[in-house]
Structure 1
């Protein structure tokens, strides 16, 4: 086989009908849909590697993946054709040539998520937000979110059966903002654990309703025990929204 060309694609997807990102034997995933589309377009079997996995029902407004192509690709033609093949819930926005050893997962500097809550019923938010009727104190939410920034070990918010070597994550941002009836939680880190953001949100809202104090929240982090944290927030409110890379990997 001749020399392969490595590319990064930037994409977005509505995760409602997908069993997450990661390819599985008996469930339809975003990765599978993309690999099928790319293999059809390039007329050879194409495997892709994403910047990270998202769980069943979780969305992405910005996700990256890399793949190797046996042919040199031209961006505008590629984007037109791949978007014509892919299902309507998945869109590819960009194609960039990268160095042969560039890696969508390992080269990422940071990842950002946004979690969306709506405080009142909306027909337009049913698959995109967590409908939360109980009152939430945004000052308390932000007081608790700021406590997260003091820590690096987030074992309390990780799925228990997971294959990671470390529960350490460096957080860059954790804050809430209110936009009318929407509450938005922004969180950025160098890496995230499985289920981490939804477990954090599910626990933070207990502070926001007054069921937990900020001291309780600190104690949960320090316990390093998932059983101490609260139930995970629903998948439909979570979006992977930004992944950043060093410019040096691009050609």
Structure 2
């Protein structure tokens, strides 16, 4: 049966407001469910999709790759296939690219880098509702950027992980972490080889705690060293978080 299937990567983007995350769940609507339903209608074949990662309820994705195995010959024209798929998907989910890959390619395990952004604004803006988190107080940007520097490197980030998750290790390698001022407010950028459950939202909450209470940036070292979730800040709301990029060694993920 495997010889009759071709593995494809599918690139999608979505507004996560209406969904209980990426992964299929019982008694809750997910992005994966909507995608699988649309694929089944087009292909008339039971499709299993594997994503590069899981986003939580309300989190958005500007770029997420999925792999799926499709019977050979089912996709004759990739452009027409995408058009048909997008016509069946709800307006808040879009399919951007589909292309064949090696049969061993894996959307989750082969990803070498993932990037997230967290958006904050300070002035009430109806167009940013569900897209950015509104803060009343202005945190100290310099202090937060100095504290973010201590995130860089390979270390145990257990203090930022959701409790009781089934992962083999809390070790991650963060290659980029910084705040940027925008016209609307602030954006936090972070890139790593992998992320723990709730990690980015906990990091943002911790950095804001440091920036608002003007703690010394070096306090981040003690928090990380503790490996204790109770030492870190409160997780910020999901709706300001975006998965923005997933990198693979064998494909061009820029689009």
Shared fold per TM-score greater than 0.5: yes
Report how far residue 128 of structure 1 moved.
Answer: 0.3
Aligned residues: 250
State the 1:219 CA deviation: 0.9
Q: Secondary structure at the match of 1:63?
A: strand
What is the Cα deviation at residue 106 of structure 1? 0.5
TM-score by length of 1: 0.96
1:140 alignment counterpart: 143
Aligned equivalents of 2:164, 2:215: Cα separation in 1: 26
Deviations 1:41-66 (Å, cap 9, x if unpaired)?
Answer: 10111110000000000000001101
Q: 1:140 to 1:248 in 2, by over 3 A?
A: closer
Task: Give distance in 2, aligned partners of 1:183 and 1:131.
Answer: 10
| Equivalent in the alignment of 2:50 | 49
Q: What is the alpha-carbon distance in structure 2 between the residues aligned to residue 13 and residue 3 of structure 1?
A: 31
**Separation in 2 of the partners of 1:109 and 1:19?**
26
**1:149-180, CA deviations, whole angstroms, 9 ceiling, x for partnerless residues?**
15511000000110001000011100110012
Map 1:112-127 → 2, pairs under 5 A: 112-127=115-130
Query: Which consecutive residues of structure 2, in runs of 5 or more, have no partner in the other structure?
Result: none
TM-score, L = length of structure 2: 0.95
Extract unaligned runs of 5+ from structure 1: none
Give the structure 2 partner of residue 130 of structure 1. Answer: 133
Q: How does 1:212-231 map to 2 (within 5 A)?
A: 212-231=215-234
What secondary structure does 2:16 align onto? coil
What does 1:229-244 align with in structure 2 at a 5 Å threshold?
A: 229-244=232-247
Question: Aligned partners of 1:249, 1:128: CA distance in 2, in Å?
Answer: 27
Secondary structure of 1:114's partner? strand
